[in-house]
Amino acid sequence: MRNAAEIFDSKSSFAPSAVTSKGMPVATTDLDFMRLALAEAHSAEAAGEVPVGAIVVSPSGDVIARGNNQVLRSRDPSAHAEIVALRAAGRALDNYRILTNEGGCTLYCTLEPCAMCAGAILHARIARLVFATRDPKAGACGSVLSVMNHPALNHRVEVVEGILGDECSALLTTFFRNRRAAQTAAINSASDLMTEETTHGNS
C-alpha cells in the first residue's frame, strides 16, 4: 500500500499541483478526482447521511460513476458510497466487472472501505483504489481487517491512501460531533419536558 507522498513519480506526465502534509507533491489527477469524491461526501452530509463519497474513473480519466452514502435514504444497509458507485459503474459499462477496453478502473473514496465494500471492489476487478482517510473501527484495508489484497485471493488492487486525508477526516469528525451534540440536546430537552410535566402534575 502506498501513501500520497509516494505516488508522485518524476517520470510521470502528471504535474504536481499540491503537497501533502509531509510536503511531498501529489499527482494532479488523484487530487482532482478525490475532490469530486469529497463533493459526493458533502452531498451525503446535506441529506443527513454519514459523509462518505466515491467515484469510479476509467484509465483514460473519464468519470464513469459517482456515489455517496445512502443507507438511510434507501433503507439499504449495503448502500455505502463505494457500492452505490460500483452499481452505477456496472450499469454504465453493462458489466458487473468494472472493466473498459483500456483496462481496469480506479475507485476513489473518502474513507477506507469496510469489509463489504472491499469484497465488492475485488469482485468488480477494480484495478486501483485511492482512499483519503483510514477507518479505525471498520476499515478493511489494514486498519481492522485486511480483506483487500488478502494473499488467498486471486485479484490484486493497487492501493493508495492519504490524499485529502485531513479534509475527509475532519468532515467525518465534525459530522459525528454535531450528531452527538444534537442527540444530547434532544435527550436533555425530553428530560426537561418530563420534569416539567411531573412538576405540574404534582402541583
Give residue for cell 444534537: 182
Q: Is the separation of the CB atoms in 68 and 87 below 8 Å?
A: no
- Phi, psi (5° rounding) for residue 107? -105, 125
Task: Tell me the three cell numbers of residue 203.
Answer: 402541583
Which one of 40, 45, 49, 82 is the catalytic residue? 82
Between CA 147 and CA 126 the distance in angstroms is: 14
Q: Is 45 a catalytic residue?
A: no
Q: 52: closest CA among 107, 4, 113, 1?
A: 113
Task: Tell me the three cell numbers of residue 197.
Answer: 410535566
Triad 111, 176, 167: Cα angle to 5°: 45
Catalytic residue numbers read 82
